[in-house]
Structure 1
Amino acid sequence: MSKTLESPRNHQTLQIIKSAITSRLLLLSLILLWRTLIDPYDTSSPLDPNCLSTDHQQQERHVIQFPRIGSAIEDSIVWDGVYFVRIAQCGYEYEQTYAFLPLLPACVVLLSRTVLVPLVSVIGHRAVLALAGYLVNNVAFVLAAVYFYRVSVIILKDPEAAFQASILFCFNPASIFYSSIYTESLYALLSLGGLYYLISGASNVAVLWFALSGCARSNGVLNAGYLCFQTMHQAYDAVFLQKRAHLAVKVLIVGALRCICIFIPFIAYQAYGYYNICHGHSLDEMRPWCKAKIPLLYSYIQSHYWGVGFLRYFQLKQLPNFLLASPILSLAVCSVLHYMRSQPEIFFSLGFRASNGEKRPPAASPLSLDRVPESDSSHLKEKSSAKMQGRGSRGSKGIIMYSWMNMIH
């Protein structure tokens, strides 16, 4: 195909990549600027005691070439970043560190021991770990923006609207978390990627991405809800439309197995924590959560050390934070209400009462997204506008579930 016939969607993807990179560079520049003008509120960055385990105490003893650069990078390790860098440096030493799941520290360790290993003698080991964390999260954000666009194209059936939404995502109000040593970028990438593959028909690939999202953040297990929703509709179709009960049983079994696969990483992580903290101790020496019928380390840590729990955040002292989030929350609520009013039957029936034509739009393949000829772009827009009055339940479900995921996140 001639370069003059380049797909508009490919062009929009490149624009999104450029916007995502630009937004990251702009944000990192602002971070550096404000750190030079204002002293940071969090002062935990200098805390760097020796690792408890002798296996992790082999720190570099040679002279660092540029200690001031290394020190400047280490000064940026604040809030949750302190825990992630510490885990990458020393492993899981204390009970409270198990609140931070292992995918980000694992990526940091891998990058620091391969691509960035020459920099250890230049800026120091801990600075390299921090640099690896920044690199992982900012690259993940750029990829997440691309998957955000791909998902939006399928759901909205309007490439232009999807493009505008993706640009807004690149400059979203929570950008600081997506460029710091946090798990937001990895979680967004894996969740959006899993959702893209799910609605593209690659369910097994989606399961893998969703399972990995559960290695980044605990709420990754909620991504199993997408598969549960899909399974319910497939079982409904098998029983009431196709009149094949045995097919419904098969669908339910496959759906259950896929959901279990998504839960396995988080369950394995809980078992790992139980083995390290509880195994081999007498009943009197065990921590309180070890004695529970279902010993959940994660929920105990969140409650015991940080007072986090169901509805505990809803306190009067948190009112300023709710006011800060009110613009985005208002947009999300208004969007849901607008859809509810425009498609009440589909909304309140969770898509079960959608017509058969609405339920089964053609699934886009991963390759076809980037190979739409330019001559077809106007046809796509006409087709998308014609479907606005009866948008498919698959797209409807995607919009509702996607909004739900982002509000939780």
Structure 2
Amino acid sequence: MATPVDGVVRLAAASRVLVLSLSLLARLLFRPYDTSATLHPPCLSSSPSAPSSSPSTNLSAAISSLAVWDGVHFARPAECGYEYEQSFAFLPLLPASIALLARSLFAPLVPVLGYRAVLVLSGYVLNNVAFVAAAAYFYRLSMLILKDRKAAYRASVLFCFNPASVFYSSLYSESLYALFSLGGLFYLFSGANTVAVIMLALSGSARSNGALNAGYFCFQALLQAYDAAVQKKRPLLAVWALVAAALRSIFILLPFFAFQAYGYLNICVHGSYEELRPWCKAKVPLLYGFIQSHYWGVGFLRYFQVKQLPNFLLASPVLSLAVYSIIHYTKMLHQLFRTTSIHRQIITALEERSVESCKGSDDTTVLRSEHSTGFTNKAHGNSKVKQRKSVATGTASAMFHDTMLANKEIQDEGSILLLPFVLHLAFMTSTAFFVMHVQVSTRFLSASPPIYWAAAHILASPNCSSKRWGYLICVYFIAYILLGSLLFSNFYPFT
């Protein structure tokens, strides 16, 4: 029996086939603006363990040329390691992953296509598979937070066809970041803290903003500390909750700062520069911040120039949708806190999390979820297993039902669990608008769930005004998929 997750997985896979087909068609019909991606200078220092490349062929050159824009900078460290100072802006999870795939699963293709082409091919396969898995986690997370199957499915459809789709199907780190951030949040709100910490730490080794995900554990700790100190009158338990959250947060931050330390050792300690680089002399020698400022001009209000107006226009749809999402859920939370005490909200959130942990503990369902349940029942038909599962599920369902009945008004309006998502999106949106190259906002915000939740809310609204906005949202998503497939794949500026 098919489950909603199965439907989302099939839809996500279909969306990747569509985007890849459009991108390949664009490459066949139009000439790339910049053909420098085909240039392949040798590595500065040849590694004895690196696979030897075969003579270049038309097929290998065509595959290698699919690494465009930042894809070139991800493929280079995978092949040659981190050779240049600016290459440390590209975090190691994607380069390491595609290098591992190219030397294992796709190793038989190296003599045929050459190592660089196999690296690019590995990246495309990895990212498209990762996106499908990320979409499944997005749906499960949406179900946990929204508690509305239809709303979760609508939001998942929007995520599958999001405006930054072309980046999720190319040699960029968006897919891996979405997989580990959305997966980590799903496990966090399911009660599987250990799995959540590992996945969120991996998100921080894919993209720098993954370090912000530590804030979700801080939010969880505040709820637990409040419950322990106020409800249970156990201050030591509250202190332990805060200490545990601090340790988990440090673990999530560790990959990013470990990579900065690696850059410091390579450039400042063992580097070949004649003069010590300026960031090496700083009290806190943060390589990533220096690269962003020195090489790309990233900084507060530094992008506020008349000549950048087209880029602000390019980013305006996603920024507008993000601002609407923040306002919509802020109003919802404000109304919620007016009608229900914060104390009641915290207790309710912790009770629901306890129920989800109970539901996820049977047969390690936290790792296999709905799909494996259906598969087991269908394939084996074991009545004893069914009976055990029905008893466990029935008990959890009864607890969940009682909680829902006791807090029906709360569930109709929302949950305090929306708060960390709103705060996270607000920080990301402000950073994208005031600090970053604003056109990057389309993909920078593309893994933020509230954007799709709010858009799904607009699409489901019956009033005429919302229908018009819903129509514009659909046009925006479709137009950016088409534009991205055409422009980005041919090395034209997109976002």
Calculate the TM-score normalised by the size of structure 1.
0.87
Distance 2:193 2:317 in 1: 35
Change (3 A) 1:387 1:120: same
Work out whether 1:201 is the aligned partner of 2:191.
Answer: yes
Q: Where does 1:19-38 land on structure 2 (aligned, <5 Å)?
A: 19-38=11-30
Deviation at 1:202, TM superposition (A): 1.1
Change (3 A) 1:202 1:93: same
- Corresponding residue number in structure 2 for 1:397: 419
Deviation at 1:252, TM superposition (A): 1.3
- Corresponding residue number in structure 2 for 1:322: 312
State the Cα deviation string for residues 75-112 of structure 1 (Å, max 9, x = none): 21111111111111100111111111110011101110
Question: Do 1:361 and 1:392's aligned partners in 2 also have CA atoms closer than 8 Å?
Answer: no
- Corresponding residue number in structure 1 for 2:93: 103
Deviation at 1:119, TM superposition (A): 1.1
Q: Where does 1:200-279 land on structure 2 (aligned, <5 Å)?
A: 200-279=190-269
Out of 262-271 and 278-287, give the one that drifted further.
278-287
Question: Do 1:233 and 1:352's aligned partners in 2 also have CA atoms closer than 8 Å?
Answer: no
Question: Do 1:56 and 1:90's aligned partners in 2 also have CA atoms closer than 8 Å?
Answer: no
- Corresponding residue number in structure 2 for 1:90: 80
Change (3 A) 1:323 1:281: closer
Change (3 A) 1:303 1:145: same
Other structure's SS at 1:88 match: helix
Question: Do 2:260 and 2:287's aligned partners in 1 also have CA atoms closer than 8 Å?
Answer: yes
Structure 1, gaps ≥5 residues long: 1-5
Distance 2:408 2:121 in 1: 46
Structure 2, gaps ≥5 residues long: 375-389, 430-443, 446-495
Q: Which of structures 1 and 2 has the larger relative contact order (alpha carbons within 8 angstroms, sep 6+)?
A: 2
Change (3 A) 1:320 1:280: closer
Distance 1:58 1:202 in 2: 38
Change (3 A) 1:198 1:338: same
Instruction: State the AA in 2 paired with 1:168.
Output: L
Change (3 A) 1:359 1:15: closer
Deviation at 1:281, TM superposition (A): 6.6
State the Cα deviation string for residues 8-66 of structure 1 (Å, max 9, x = none): xx5211111111111111111111111122222333302211111131696636556xx
Q: Where does 1:290-309 land on structure 2 (aligned, <5 Å)?
A: 290-309=280-299
Work out whether 1:131 is the aligned partner of 2:121.
Answer: yes
Change (3 A) 1:113 1:323: same
Question: Do 1:83 and 1:100's aligned partners in 2 also have CA atoms closer than 8 Å?
Answer: yes
Instruction: State the AA in 2 paired with 1:13.
Output: V
Q: Where does 1:68-79 land on structure 2 (aligned, <5 Å)?
A: 68-79=58-69
Question: Do 1:155 and 1:398's aligned partners in 2 also have CA atoms closer than 8 Å?
Answer: no
State the Cα deviation string for residues 121-165 of structure 1 (Å, max 9, x = none): 222211111000111111110000000000000011011111111
Distance 1:144 1:406 in 2: 20
Out of 38-47 and 20-29, give the one that drifted further.
38-47
Instruction: State the AA in 2 paired with 1:47.
Output: L
Deviation at 1:385, TM superposition (A): 7.5
Distance 2:52 2:259 in 1: 30
Distance 2:173 2:262 in 1: 20
- Corresponding residue number in structure 1 for 2:452: none
Out of 128-137 and 230-239, give the one that drifted further.
230-239
State the Cα deviation string for residues 181-206 of structure 1 (Å, max 9, x = none): 00000001100011001100111211
Match of 1:45 among 28, 37, 41: 37
Change (3 A) 1:163 1:97: same
Change (3 A) 1:227 1:317: farther
Relative to its length, the structure with more helix (as a share) is 2
What is the number of residues matched between the two proteins?
394
- Corresponding residue number in structure 1 for 2:175: 185
- Corresponding residue number in structure 2 for 1:340: 330
Change (3 A) 1:347 1:24: farther
Match of 2:4 among 12, 29, 36: 12
Change (3 A) 1:315 1:61: closer
Instruction: State the AA in 2 paired with 1:84.
Output: F
Distance 1:335 1:294 in 2: 36
Question: Do 2:197 and 2:251's aligned partners in 1 also have CA atoms closer than 8 Å?
Answer: yes
Q: Where does 1:315-394 land on structure 2 (aligned, <5 Å)?
A: 315-344=305-334, 346=336, 352=342, 354-355=344-345, 357-363=347-353, 364-365=356-357, 366=360, 367=365, 369-370=369-370, 387-394=410-417
Deviation at 1:172, TM superposition (A): 0.5
- Corresponding residue number in structure 2 for 1:3: none
State the Cα deviation string for residues 196-252 of structure 1 (Å, max 9, x = none): 011001112111111111111111111111111111222222223322222221111
Out of 307-316 and 102-111, give the one that drifted further.
307-316
- Corresponding residue number in structure 1 for 2:439: none
